[in-house]
Amino acid sequence: MSGAQGSYYLPNPSAWPIIGSIGLFTLLLGFMLFLNEGTAGTWLMIFGACVIAFMLIGWFGTVISESEGGLYNDQVGMSFRMSMLWFIFSEIMFFAAFFGALFYTRTLAVPWLADTDLLWPNYEGGWPTAGPKGPVPIDADTAVANPATQFSTIGPWGIPVLNTLLLLSSSITVTIAHHALKQNARGKLILWLGLTVALGVVFLYFQAIEYHHAYTELGLTLGTGVYGGTFFMLTGFHGLHVTIGAIMLMVVWLRCLRGHFKPDNHFAFEASAWYWHFVDTVWVGLFVFVYVF
Amino acid sequence: MATADAAHHDEHHAHPTGILRWITTTNHKDIGTLYLLFSLTMFMVGGLMALVIRAELFQPGLQVVDPHFFNQMTTMHALVMIFGAVMPGFVGFANWMLPMMIGAPDMALPRLNNWSFWILPFAFTMLLSSLLTAGGGPASGWTLYAPLSIQGGMSVDMTIFAIHMMGVSSILGAINVIVTIFNMRAPGMTLLKMPLFVWTWLITAFLLIAVMPVLAGVVTMLLTDRHFDTAFFNPAGGGDPVMFQHIFWFFGHPEVYILILPAFGIISEIIPTFSRKPLFGYTTMVLATAGIAFLSFIVWAHHMFTVGMPLAGELFFMYSTMLIAVPTGVKVFNWVSTMWRGSLTFETPMLFAIAVVFLFTIGGFSGLMLAITPADFQYHDTYFVVAHFHYVLFSGSIMAMMGGAYYWLPKWTGHMYDEKLGKTHFWLNTIFFNITFFPQHFLGLAGMPRRIPDYALQFTEFNVISSIGAFGLGLSQLLFVYVVIKCVRGGEKASDEVWEQPRGLEWTVPSPAPYHTFETPPRVA
């Protein structure tokens, strides 16, 4: 259990955490004011986001230089790996809350609402639905004449299935890159990792096109009852996580260009790859439960 | 408190001094101290809010505050006590004790540890300042049930964001705890040799990582329902306000075990020491803790029996809830068996531990009553529920922390606390606690609803008694603060062992524990 090479690295006092707290507080305070029509809201949000970005760059920069400087032994590496896995577990539980909301409304709340005659006797229920007071669903992928009375959904076999293929292949490319790193084939590593990032970016681009399509032509928005809410919150938070994952992989890619990482020791690569597989897996769940069924 | 003199250590790097030392520290003892002081401060703030509630309820009618402010006080009292006093308090104990108990040099991720703490003062600044906004603080109860919370003012947004920050803090802290326990144990410290406090924290940290994100998710839905036009909790859009309760309590029930399991750990350390016997049934204690954690995920809807659920749901959640009595009973019997034929002495920590076993069991039994669905239709949202959760949370969690503080203060500060004052504090605290909360059982059974600033005349006598008890309970905590300060500043020198042959690595290091302990891991036989 004790350090394999030298003792466990205990960092010096650090100012990054308090900077992160200030950034987080400012960001959320700004967001709160923005939502409540406070005047300084937007600027506080931008300032807070910049402080957080500064903190992330500084803090991770410190960790990277400590790591490249050989200060970490195997036990420190194990701490990092374990914490990344538990962090991903917490992310899974975050998505579980939204999947839970989707399953609960679809299988329990909406049928109960349709069964009772007390509130809206003519409400039929079914899925998709925007509720008894919302617009009525029509066939998927059909342009809607009046979004106030009708909405359409995004069918699974257009962009969504393409996006599924994109993300699944990106999981394969990142694995190829990982094997290349282990064999110290740096050129191959940089090529396949770069391809992974590119696939992620294309995914995000398609997702943006799809959102635009939904808002402008299908009458499908966040406000389209419980269908719109679960659809956009699930896919939106997923898209946010793809963005974070792509940024992580991009940073790792830049570090590869600089010659960082060794075949037997490359925590940041592993962590980003795990995160990417997690994002990928969530998408498969989304594709099945949000788009197909 | 303990490490005020960090002089005798550490040649590898210069440390900032003064306030900067505390802001930038990466030392588990410093951070533990910060957590404990923060917890004590929030305990006092939340206590003052409780006294506003009890002052209003001293007599029937409306005298002291208006009903809206009363609702803000019940909401804030709960949020502050749960997220500000109890959870950070236990994290403080974890920070101080876990590395010492498993023979580690520090927590696994010291900088992250600092961040986990330093998010909290910002989160509570956000939460408490919401009281100053137009329309006042959140008044929907700490559970923030939709649709009431959707109709609230900007203070609800501040509460949501404060909860997001507390969630980040808790998740990062819990990850640190788990990784420390799995990766930092000294050679020979196998999992089943770990002190029970370490085990209970391991399982608590797992619960935290599993459910804090769910809380973050549900308050995010609340936020989007408030501002972004979604309809998660609005039936007109196909949503359901009851869904808020389901998701909230999926977090909420494991949360109550997050609040109690470390307390079980603390008293499992105290009782063997003052019984001069090893803990009875160590392995069953570990299994019972794991069992409670597992069950905590499948009992949530017992908080909402009266909301209108299918009969199958009512039955399932009734039986699964009652099952919890089994592992909890195992624990209570194990504590009693540890004391059985032990060579008992009754120093302050032991008094607290015994009181916890006794009073928590009362809370457990009232919980069993509440678990009976048809009976719960009568008890739901009455003062019986208030009495129940104060018996488990005050005379469970908080009194266990007080016992733990007396138990480890000599190790932290190097001084013995004033035993006479400690015992006085114990008796004042315990007597006033019972005066405050025992009558609330009767009030609840007679039908007095909770979270209402006024009541029918027949409830007067018990409310008067309860309010007198509450002020006594509040004042007696000042004695606790005095004892702690006195102990930090001086007192009889504590030996390394402090007590008579206590078990655990923390007693093998000097008192006060040096700034860095176990830089070379001890070998555990």
Torsion of CA A163, A167, A169, A172, to 10 degrees: -170
Q: What is the DSSP letter of A8?
A: P
Distance CA A173, CA A255 (A): 18
Q: Which two tokens stand for residue B2?
A: 């303990």
Residue range A75-292 in CATH 3.30.1050.10: no
b/e per residue B467-504 (b: at least 16 CB within 10 A): bebbbbbbebbebbeebbeebbeebeebeeebbeebeb
Whether B106 is a known active-site residue: answer yes
Domain segments of chain A as ranges:
12-71, 75-292
| A3 CB neighbour count, 10 Å cutoff | 16
Largest CA-CA distance found in chain B, in angstroms, rounded: 69
How many degrees, rounded to 5, is the angle at CA B134 between CA B133 and CA B138?
A: 65
pLDDT in tens, B14-43: 678 889 999 999 999 999 999 999 999 999
Do the strands A150-151 and A136-137 form a parallel or antiparallel pair, or are they unpaired?
parallel
Q: What is the mean pLDDT of chain B?
A: 95
**A12-71 with A75-292: one CATH topology?**
no
Distance CA A185, CA B511 (A): 55
Mean pLDDT of B242-271: 97
Partner residue opposite A28 with nearest CB, options B126, B209, B214: B126
The pLDDT confidence band at residue B11, using thresholds 50, 70 and 90, is very low
Domains present along chain B, CATH in parentheses: 2-6+25-508 (1.20.210.10)
The pLDDT confidence band at residue B266, using thresholds 50, 70 and 90, is very high
CA-closest candidate to residue B363, choices B394, B338, B339, B327: B394
How many degrees, rounded to 5, is the angle at CA A230 between CA A227 and CA A231?
A: 75
Q: Cβ contact (<8 Å) for A90 and B227? A: no
* Residue among B257, B282, B407, B515 flagged as catalytic: B257
Residues 6+ apart with CB under 8 A from A205: none
Mean pLDDT of B269-294: 97
Q: What is the pLDDT of residue B15?
A: 75
The structure tokens 């809010």 sit at: B49
ipTM score assigned to the predicted complex: 0.95
Q: What is the pTM of this model?
A: 0.95
Share of chain B above pLDDT 70, in %: 97
* Residue B315 φ then ψ, to 5°: -65, -45
| A274 CB neighbour count, 10 Å cutoff | 17
Q: Which two tokens stand for residue A125?
A: 């229920």
Q: What is the pLDDT of residue B13?
A: 53
What is the identity of the amino acid at A236?
A: G
Q: What is the pLDDT of residue B14?
A: 61
Q: What is the DSSP letter of A106?
A: I
Query: Per this entry, what is the length of chain B?
Result: 525
| A264 CB neighbour count, 10 Å cutoff | 9
Q: Cβ contact (<8 Å) for B122 and A93? A: no
Q: Say if residue B50's pLDDT is above 80.
A: yes
Q: Say if residue B94's pLDDT is above 70.
A: yes
For A126: left if phi > 0, alpha if psi spans -120 to 50, otherwise beta; the answer is left
Distance CA B296, CA B327 (A): 12
Q: What is the pLDDT of residue A6?
A: 60
Mean pLDDT of B342-371: 97
Whether B303 is a known active-site residue: answer yes
Task: List, in sequence order, every residue forming a beta bridge with B493; answer none if it has no partner.
Answer: B415
Share of chain B above pLDDT 90, in %: 94
Using only the alpha carbons of chain B, give its radius of gyration.
23
| A259 CB neighbour count, 10 Å cutoff | 8
CA-closest candidate to residue A78, choices A18, A3, A152, A167: A3
Give chain A's residues under pLDDT 50.
1-5
Distance CA B361, CA B332 (A): 8
Looking at the complex, does the CB of residue B269 fall below 8 Å from at least one CB of chain A? no
Looking at the complex, does the CB of residue A130 fall below 8 Å from at least one CB of chain B? yes
Distance CA B144, CA B140 (A): 5
Q: What is the pLDDT of residue B17?
A: 86
Q: What's the CATH fold of domain A12-71?
A: Helix Hairpins (1.10.287)
Distance CA B486, CA B418 (A): 8
With a CB-CB cutoff of 8 Å, which residues 205-244 of chain B face chain A? Answer: 209-214, 216-218, 220-221, 223-224, 226-232, 234-240, 242-243
- Residue B116: closest CA among chain A residues belongs to which residue? A17
Q: What is the pLDDT of residue B521?
A: 87
Q: Say if residue B4's pLDDT is above 60.
A: no
